């Protein structure tokens, strides 16, 4: 059956393969601060899902607590959402995913939500290679409680009150690489051209896909001395590679000179075309990825792009030997062994 | 334990086997009514031999209740296995000491000797002489040279250790009149998959049997009866795991913690047998060992939110960690099932001992105004039934349901009626709107109470392209799931949740009332049931009639208040220090606390009838009848004093 109802409100607007305009992917009006990087990320999610022809209601949005975790309200209003508990989105996403692997899972978290209170759950959802897009809207501070440093704040970065952060930061990209993430990327909320193709690739990746998005907090962490401000990020960004996502149905055409591109095939038949900023960078080489990350850090640069990808690892669904039919669709007849079987078990208890 | 016992060089006495030398104490004579206790070293492989002993009594048609008493340790510390054999069918732990002690652990020998009742038997390895300081004039010693027999028969150290256990079971068979045919049959069943192990085990059994001669005598006998019927011997944790399989649970998320670990393991075991897709070999279930209890509960909530029946099993410390999520599930109205196998104490407490002390922490778990449905099984059959029912209740009421068991029922095999499943029962999936239902309504209100029962319709993710999507959140919202901090909307929502709570007992199992119009009423729940029923027999013997009410759920059915009303003296028996269930009764039923007399017990061992009897008699001011009437009350027994 089809529940696709064409919307005729704006006949002149472009439509995707489902005959839907972008408005079908929008959410409620944002209540975040004007200029918040998170809103740009929401816009990128809308664009990526629209371009990929994902049915909006077949997406499940999950989040923890914080400014970032509020943002699922502002995109995909036809999707179910779950704004859960601080730092615990990964577990809710895991339960939801095993119940129905057919939906597309978009998790939205923040730096406090993932790198502090939720560090444990973040690490374990990475290990499990749960099939989801995991967005970290990373502004280096706690916005909802008015600007305290978070664990991703760089050492020496100044808070709004002028105090330097004395502690080493946690780089979630580095952590994810170390513990077996199969898709690791970093981007900047102000770089939609990079962010949207990365999201499309992440959504097409079968397994855990992390995108750490530097997303400046205009209210509490956008001042001189902060290393997560718009100005600082623009000045120090280093684009490791330029991603061009090629959907499964499109013919792959060479946008780049063969010598400078790497083609990565994804599970759903789509591909990634990577134009390399550095000719020797191979995103399938974990050692190289770790190296590039460390080097960019030494130079004080923020490495962005697709940093690492592994399309060979089985995802959690496959590891757990689950079948094609979602667990939440199985009937009582399939699930309940019945009384005759129980009487056989009783015999074994005597 | 003194060094001399191990070396046998000093303070040693070659007593072999001998009867009581105190002429005023006669050796105990009893048939099918005594307590045997095994004192072992944990990690020595004694568990299966001890279970073999208990099962042989069961197969001889005599009611038997075995209990493990074990330390929080893997190898080397003392562990005990206490078996109550009761023709009358009493299954509570019996107070007053042990009739027959099987002592195979020198470490605990001094304590073990002390625990034998006057006239009782102390079975020990007589390969080396016994420490003279362990001699009591009022008990019987049964010496069998277990080590000598074992070493003569086996060269391999591992075989010596394993078969020594089987050898003492063989000796017990001769001493206690256990049918060797029954034991051999059990061994054959146990090793049906490894047939070559049957003969060596039967030989070991015979070595022990033949070691008993006329010089040994024992007045305790097991005689065949037909008192078991079709009953089964099962642990509560196995029954809970199986109940979850039958209820259609597909997602189990858990974190290892004693004493609940075997719930998830049982689910995995039975699901592995019964839930593999015959065509594809894929699993129709998933068991996730989470990183901690917080994650386990999060997974359960995520799965249930998405329409898969999901549960977790834990114990008190895990409940503490899950508490924030329990509040979310209550407020966001997501079904969830949590099996709490209670253990003793705050903090780490006594993790391998039993208690009923998570009542307040579960009924009122989490911050803000929260109340949770709690189910209270008392035996493995109820563990199976209430676990299965918990999923229907959780989905009907869209809220967490906590199945509260304890270590005593969870980790020990106990007698119960056979499990049954009503094939005509259809799972109650609650008010879940599908795409067609959504098409037929004007506007979906996730929290709109159109039926007036406080239960509102929910939808699952992915159902309908245009209708029914909503944002599940722990923040306040209106009837259409829209975020709001308006006070009136918050109050309306909280009042509706209360309405749901007040109507919940309709879906919960009703309490079980026994008796007929006595003036004394005893309220109890969970594993106190066996001790309470035995105590009621003791009270009757002392001329005190008492009725009982077994609670099966919170919130309470109307009959609970009625039971309190119609009894002059009402006792609430529970295994904790702070009278937690009494607090819940007082709060929920708004009754005068003075109406409820607490009977408390919390030393970590299973409750005995004597504890209940003694306290009730004391309160009723009839202490004079106690000593002479209770058949099992032994003077100086420390159990009866504990816990008041």
Residue B439 lies in a domain: no
Whichever domain contains B617, its CATH number is 3.40.50.920
> Nearest Cβ partner of B461 from A103, A332, A335?
A103
Q: Share the mean pLDDT of chain B.
A: 93
CA distance A268 to chain B (A): 20
| Residues 6 or more apart whose Cβ sits within 8 Å of residue B567 | B518, B519, B520, B521, B547
- Of B28 and B74, the one with more pLDDT: B28
Do B155 and B11 share a structural domain? yes
pLDDT above 70 as % of chain A? 92
DSSP B342: E
Output the CA torsion sign for A52, A56, A62, A66: positive
Do B316 and B172 share a structural domain? no
Minimum Cα–Cα distance from A73: chain B residue: B471
Residue B20 pLDDT class (50, 70, 90 cuts) = confident
Whichever domain contains B181, its CATH number is 3.40.920.10
The label of the residue with tokens 């001669």 reads B213
pLDDT tens track for B76-111: 899 999 999 999 999 999 999 999 999 999 999 999
Number of other CB atoms surrounding residue B458 within 10 Å: 23
pLDDT tens track for A42-62: 999 999 999 999 999 999 999
| Residues 6 or more apart whose Cβ sits within 8 Å of residue A216 | A37, A139, A189, A190, A222, A228, A229, A230, A233
> What integer pLDDT is reported at residue B474 of this predicted model?
95
CA distance A222 to chain B (A): 28
Token readout for A98 is 């095993």
Average pLDDT over residues B334-353: 96
Residue B628 pLDDT class (50, 70, 90 cuts) = very low
| Residues 6 or more apart whose Cβ sits within 8 Å of residue B626 | B542, B613, B614, B617, B618, B633
Average pLDDT over residues B248-263: 98
How many structural domains is chain B composed of?
3
Do B160 and B15 share a structural domain? yes
Do B197 and B86 share a structural domain? yes
User: Are residues B390 and B337 in contact, defined by beta-carbon separation less than 8 angstroms?
Assistant: yes
Average pLDDT over residues B431-443: 97
CA distance B190 to chain A (A): 11
Minimum Cα–Cα distance from A97: chain B residue: B303
User: Are residues B620 and B544 in contact, defined by beta-carbon separation less than 8 angstroms?
Assistant: yes
Domain stop point among B416, B444, B462: B416
Contacts of A337 in chain B (CB under 8 A): 245-246, 274-275
Residue B496 lies in a domain: no
Average pLDDT over residues B404-426: 98
Number of residues written out for chain A: 350
With CA atoms as reference, report the closest residue to A136 among A70, A214, A190: A214
With CA atoms as reference, report the closest residue to B352 among B566, B89, B69, B571: B69
Contacts of B463 in chain A (CB under 8 A): 57
pLDDT above 70 as % of chain B? 94
> What integer pLDDT is reported at residue B325 of this predicted model?
98
Residue B423 lies in a domain: no
Minimum Cα–Cα distance from B439: chain A residue: A3
Do B344 and B301 share a structural domain? yes
- Of A146 and B321, the one with more pLDDT: B321
d(CA A333, CA B427): 10
Contacts of A90 in chain B (CB under 8 A): 295, 298
Domain stop point among B362, B382, B416: B416
- ipTM (interface pTM): 0.94
Asked if B305 lies within 8 A of A96 by C-beta distance, the reply is yes
Token readout for A345 is 């078990």
Asked if B291 lies within 8 A of A124 by C-beta distance, the reply is yes
Minimum Cα–Cα distance from A74: chain B residue: B471
Domain stop point among B175, B190, B221: B221
Do B269 and B197 share a structural domain? no
Do B191 and B260 share a structural domain? no
Contacts of A323 in chain B (CB under 8 A): 277, 280, 282-284
Q: What are phi and psi of B614, to 5 degrees?
A: -60, -45
Least confident piece of the model among A268-277, B99-108, B379-388? A268-277
Average pLDDT over residues B414-435: 98
Do B279 and B196 share a structural domain? no
Do B633 and B557 share a structural domain? yes
Output the CA torsion sign for B371, B372, B373, B378: negative
DSSP of A12-47: TS---TTS--GGGGB-SPP-SPTT-HHHHHHHHHHH
User: Are residues B294 and B266 in contact, defined by beta-carbon separation less than 8 angstroms?
Assistant: no
Do B215 and B238 share a structural domain? no
User: Are residues A72 and A63 in contact, defined by beta-carbon separation less than 8 angstroms?
Assistant: yes
> What integer pLDDT is reported at residue A261 of this predicted model?
67
> Nearest Cβ partner of B284 from A3, A77, A335?
A335
Minimum Cα–Cα distance from B244: chain A residue: A336
> What integer pLDDT is reported at residue B73 of this predicted model?
86
Burial class (CB in 10 A: 0-12, 13-18, 19+), A328: buried
Number of residues written out for chain B: 644
Could you write out the three-class secondary structure of B366-420? CCCCCCCEEECCCCHHHHHHHHHHHHHHHHHHCCEEEEEEEHHHHHCEEEECCCC
- Of B264 and A147, the one with more pLDDT: B264
pLDDT tens track for B521-570: 999 999 999 999 999 999 999 999 999 999 999 999 999 999 999 999 99
d(CA B133, CA B175): 25
| Strand A59-63 with B310-314, pairing | unpaired
With CA atoms as reference, report the closest residue to B399 among B423, B430, B424, B376: B430
Residue A250 pLDDT class (50, 70, 90 cuts) = low
The label of the residue with tokens 């009959």 reads B559
Q: How many helices (H) and strands (E) does chain A have?
A: 12, 13
> What integer pLDDT is reported at residue A9 of this predicted model?
64
pLDDT > 90? residue A252? no
Contacts of A95 in chain B (CB under 8 A): 251, 253, 298-306, 308, 310
B428 touches chain A (CB under 8 A): no
Q: Share the mean pLDDT of chain A.
A: 91
Residue B440 lies in a domain: no
pLDDT tens track for B123-135: 999 999 998 889 9
Q: What are phi and psi of B118, to 5 degrees?
A: -55, 130
Residue A268 pLDDT class (50, 70, 90 cuts) = confident
- Of B633 and B539, the one with more pLDDT: B539
Return the H-helix or E-strand segment holding B110.
Answer: helix B109-115
d(CA B590, CA A208): 52
Do B133 and B108 share a structural domain? yes
Please list the helix, strand and coil fractions of chain A in percent, rounded to the nearest 5, in that order: 35, 20, 45
> Nearest Cβ partner of A321 from B282, B300, B483?
B282
| Residues 6 or more apart whose Cβ sits within 8 Å of residue B454 | B496, B497, B498, B499, B500, B501, B502, B503
Q: Which domains does chain A have, with CATH numbers?
A: 22-348 (3.40.50.970)
Q: What are phi and psi of B439, to 5 degrees?
A: -60, -30
pLDDT > 60? residue B261? yes
Minimum Cα–Cα distance from A64: chain B residue: B473
Residue B424 lies in a domain: no
Mutate to test the interface with B, among A99, A105, A117, A329 (most CBs of B within 10 A): A99
Asked if B310 lies within 8 A of A84 by C-beta distance, the reply is no
> What integer pLDDT is reported at residue B642 of this predicted model?
34
pLDDT tens track for B29-49: 999 999 999 999 988 889 999
Asked if A80 lies within 8 A of B421 by C-beta distance, the reply is no
> What integer pLDDT is reported at residue A278 of this predicted model?
65
Residue A256 pLDDT class (50, 70, 90 cuts) = very low
Residue B77 lies in a domain: yes
Do B250 and B200 share a structural domain? no
Average pLDDT over residues A23-45: 95
Contacts of B304 in chain A (CB under 8 A): 95, 99
- The residue segments making up the domain with residue B109 are 3-221
Asked if A82 lies within 8 A of B471 by C-beta distance, the reply is yes
Whichever domain contains B301, its CATH number is 3.40.50.970
> What integer pLDDT is reported at residue B631 of this predicted model?
44
> Nearest Cβ partner of B466 from A5, A85, A326?
A5
């Amino acid at each position: 059956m089809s529940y696709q109802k064409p919307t005729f409100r704006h006949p002149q607007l472009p439509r995707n393969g489902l005959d839907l305009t972008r408005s079908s992917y929008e959410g409620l009006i944002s209540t975040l601060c004007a200029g918040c990087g998170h809103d740009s990320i929401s816009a990128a999610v809308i664009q990526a899902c629209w371009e990929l022809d994902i049915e909006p209601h077949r997406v499940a949005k999950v989040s923890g607590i914080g400014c970032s975790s509020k943002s699922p309200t502002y995109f995909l209003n036809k999707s179910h959402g779950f704004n859960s508990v601080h730092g615990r989105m990964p577990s809710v996403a895991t339960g939801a995913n095993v119940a129905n692997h057919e939906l597309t899972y978009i998790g939205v978290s923040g730096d406090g939500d993932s790198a502090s209170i939720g560090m444990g759950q973040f690490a374990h959802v990475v290990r499990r290679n749960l099939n989801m897009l995991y967005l970290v809207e990373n502004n280096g501070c706690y916005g909802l409680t008015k600007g305290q440093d978070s664990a991703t704040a760089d050492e020496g970065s100044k808070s709004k009150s002028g105090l330097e952060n004395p502690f080493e930061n946690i780089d979630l990209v580095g952590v994810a690489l170390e513990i077996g993430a199969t898709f690791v990327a970093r981007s900047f909320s102000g770089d939609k051209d990079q962010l949207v193709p990365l999201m499309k690739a992440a959504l097409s990746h079968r397994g855990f896909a992390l995108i750490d998005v530097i997303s400046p907090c205009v209210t509490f962490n956008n001042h001189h001395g902060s290393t997560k401000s718009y100005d600082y990020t623009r000045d120090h960004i280093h684009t490791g590679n330029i991603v061009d996502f090629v959907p499964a149905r499109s013919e792959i055409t060479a946008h780049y000179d063969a010598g400078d591109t790497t083609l990565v095939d994804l599970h759903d038949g789509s591909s990634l075309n990577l134009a390399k900023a550095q000719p020797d960078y191979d995103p399938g080489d974990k050692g190289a990825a770790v190296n590039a990350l460390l080097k960019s850090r030494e130079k004080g640069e923020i490495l962005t792009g697709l940093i690492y990808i592994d399309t060979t690892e089985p995802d959690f669904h496959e590891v757990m030997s689950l079948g094609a039919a979602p667990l939440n669709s199985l009937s009582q007849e399939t699930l309940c062994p019945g009384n005759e079987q129980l009487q056989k078990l009783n015999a074994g208890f005597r | 334990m003194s060094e001399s016992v191990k070396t046998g060089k000093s303070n040693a006495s070659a007593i072999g086997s001998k009867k009581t030398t105190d002429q005023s104490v006669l050796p105990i004579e009893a048939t099918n009514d005594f307590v045997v206790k095994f004192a072992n070293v944990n990690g020595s492989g004694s568990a299966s031999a001890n279970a073999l002993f208990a099962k042989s009594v069961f197969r001889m048609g005599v009611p038997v209740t075995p209990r493990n008493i074990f330390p929080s340790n893997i190898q080397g510390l003392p562990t005990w296995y206490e078996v109550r054999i009761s023709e009358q069918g009493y299954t509570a732990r019996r107070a007053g000491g042990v009739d027959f002690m099987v002592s195979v652990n020198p470490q605990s020998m001094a304590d073990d000797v002390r625990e034998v009742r006057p006239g009782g038997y102390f079975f020990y390895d007589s390969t080396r002489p016994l420490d003279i300081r362990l001699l009591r004039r009022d008990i019987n010693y049964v010496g069998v040279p277990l080590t000598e027999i074992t070493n003569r028969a086996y060269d391999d150290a591992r075989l010596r250790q394993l078969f020594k256990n089987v050898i003492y079971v063989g000796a017990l068979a001769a001493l206690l009149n256990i049918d060797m045919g029954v034991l051999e049959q059990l061994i054959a069943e146990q090793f049906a998959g490894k047939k070559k192990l049957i003969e060596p085990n039967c030989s070991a059994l015979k070595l022990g049997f033949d070691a008993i001669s006329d010089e040994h005598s024992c007045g305790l006998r097991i005689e065949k009866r037909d008192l078991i019927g079709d009953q089964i011997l099962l642990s509560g944790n196995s029954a809970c795991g199986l109940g979850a399989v039958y209820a259609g649970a597909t997602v189990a998320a858990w974190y290892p913690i004693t004493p609940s670990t075997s719930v998830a393991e049982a689910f995995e075991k039975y699901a592995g047998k019964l839930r593999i897709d015959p065509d594809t070999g894929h699993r129709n279930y998933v068991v996730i060992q989470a990183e901690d209890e917080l994650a386990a509960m999060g997974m359960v909530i995520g799965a249930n939110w998405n329409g898969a029946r999901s549960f977790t099993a834990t114990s008190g410390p895990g409940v503490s960690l899950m508490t924030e999520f329990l509040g979310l599930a209550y407020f966001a109205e997501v079904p969830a099932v949590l099996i709490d196998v209670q253990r003793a104490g705050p903090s780490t407490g006594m993790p391998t001992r039993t208690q009923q002390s998570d009542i307040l922490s579960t009924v009122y778990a989490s911050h803000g105004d929260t109340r949770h449905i709690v189910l209270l099984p008392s035996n493995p059959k109820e563990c199976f039934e209430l676990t299965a029912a918990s999923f229907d209740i959780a989905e009907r009421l869209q809220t967490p349901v906590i199945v509260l068991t304890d270590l005593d029922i969870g980790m020990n095999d106990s007698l119960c009626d056979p499990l049954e499943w009503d094939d005509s029962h259809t799972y109650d999936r609650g008010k879940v709107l599908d795409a067609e239902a959504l098409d037929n309504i004007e506007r979906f209100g996730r929290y709109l109470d159109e039926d007036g029962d406080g239960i509102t319709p929910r939808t699952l993710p992915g159902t309908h392209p245009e209708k029914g999507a909503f944002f599940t959140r722990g923040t306040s919202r209106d009837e259409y799931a829209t975020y709001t901090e308006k006070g009136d909307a918050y109050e309306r929502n909280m009042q509706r949740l209360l309405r749901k709570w007040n109507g919940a007992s309709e879906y919960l199992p009703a309490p079980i009332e026994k008796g007929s119009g006595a003036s004394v009423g005893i309220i109890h729940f969970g594993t106190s049931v066996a001790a309470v029923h035995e105590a009621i027999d003791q009270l009757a013997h002392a001329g005190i009639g008492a009725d009982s009410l077994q609670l099966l759920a919170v919130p309470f059915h109307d009959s609970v208040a009625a039971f309190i009303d119609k009894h002059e003296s009402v006792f609430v028996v529970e295994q904790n220090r702070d009278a937690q269930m009494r607090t819940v009764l007082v709060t929920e039923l708004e009754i005068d606390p003075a109406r409820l007399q607490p009977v408390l017990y919390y030393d970590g061992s299973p409750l005995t009838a004597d504890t209940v009897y003694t306290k009730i008699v004391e309160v009723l001011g009839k202490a004079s009848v106690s000593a002479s009437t209770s058949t099992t009350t032994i003077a100086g027994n420390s159990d009866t004093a504990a816990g008041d």
